[in-house]
Amino acid sequence: MKLNSIDARGRSCPEPALITKKALQGNPEALEVLVDNMTARENVTRFAKNSGYNVEVIQKGSDYILNLKK
């Protein structure tokens, strides 16, 4: 699968959600966000859902891949 991706690992609150917000301004069909803690995972997921995206979470080691799709 090919899609746009942002790496928000290690970023403290609210940066992961903020860079997701900026990435979603282009209204992409899909976006992959990489985070490394539960708080970021929850914040990005909440923001994405409020913005009309479905979120699928895949855990990879200590990281989470959040797949955002319209």
Would you tell me which residues interact with another protein (CB under 8 A)? 1-7, 9-15, 17-19, 21-23, 32, 37-39, 42, 46-47, 50, 58, 60, 62, 65
Provide the minimum distance between the beta carbon of 5 and another protein in the complex, in angstroms, as a whole number: 5
Instruction: For strands 54-60 and 63-69, give the pairing.
Output: antiparallel
User: 52: left (phi > 0), else alpha (psi -120 to 50), else beta?
Assistant: left
Provide the minimum distance between the beta carbon of 24 and another protein in the complex, in angstroms, as a whole number: 11
Q: Which is nearer to another protein, 27 or 38 (CB)?
A: 38
Separation CA 44–CA 66 (nearest Å): 8
